[in-house]
Every structure is written in structure tokens, then in C-alpha cells.
Amino acid sequence: MTTEITEAKAIGKYLRLSAHKTRRILNQIRGKKYQEAILILEFMPYKPCKIIKKILESAGNNAVNRKWDKNNLIIKTAFVNEGPKLKRFQPRAQGRAFAIHKPTCHITINLVNE
């Protein structure tokens, strides 16, 4: 019994990005061709684009290892989950402390062969 792998996948974990801001960008590339998505990410001015591009390229290279052609790849799923928040404190007036929550996220990208 052989199970054929139909997806190439890459995951980035514990990234110091907001899940909400990252989700905006992933919505733009979901369902697009691999080369088109790389081009879109190249020219978007947002911080998560650089990291998403690296994860997408990793998924593309995983697909090439399976002898798939990069020109035929399509982004099937691209989603982000919230990771743990780093909790820090900012001193305030009269001995008070102000909580600062630094978010992290996990990005998953799946590619399929067209």
C-alpha cells in the first residue's frame, strides 16, 4: 500500500509577527500560482512579506525535491495561527506597571502540483 504525497508544505513557527497583520498578506496570495505569489510578496511594503516569502520559497524547494516543476505549483492553503505572547512590562507613573504583549505566530503554506 503506497500513499502518494500530493502537497509540499513549509511551516514557520514562533515568528515575531502579529497574526492579524500576517493574515492580511496571506489572503492576497492564497490560490495564486507560485511565481505570481513570489512577485506579489517582493513588492508589498509590509514587514511580514519578507518572512512569508522565505517560507513560500522553502515550500517551493520542498516541491522541487519531489521532482515537481515550480511553474506548475499553486498555493492551496496559506494560514496563520497565533503563537504564545511574550509578556513584558513598561514602568509607569506612581509605581504602576503597564503590560506589553508581544505577539508571535505560526505560518503554514501548502503547495499542490497543478
pLDDT, tens digit, for every residue of 34-87? 999 999 999 999 999 999 999 999 999 999 998 899 999 999 999 999 999 999
At 2 the pLDDT is 64
Q: Is residue 72 part of a domain?
A: yes
What domain range includes position 58?
7-113
In CATH, what number is assigned to the domain containing residue 37?
Answer: 3.90.470.10
Alpha carbon distance 21, 2 (integer Å): 40
Alpha carbon distance 48, 29 (integer Å): 13
At 1 the pLDDT is 61
Q: Is residue 17 part of a domain?
A: yes
Give the three-state DSSP class for 23: helix
At 4 the pLDDT is 73
Q: Which residue has the cell 490560490?
A: 31
pTM above 0.85, yes or no: yes
| 23 confidence band (pLDDT: 50, 70, 90) | very high
At 6 the pLDDT is 85
Q: Is residue 45 part of a domain?
A: yes
Tally of structural domains, the chain: 1
Residues forming beta bridges with residue 79, ordered by sequence position: 108
Q: Is residue 2 part of a domain?
A: no
Q: Is residue 98 part of a domain?
A: yes
Q: Which three cell numbers stand for residue 78?
A: 496559506
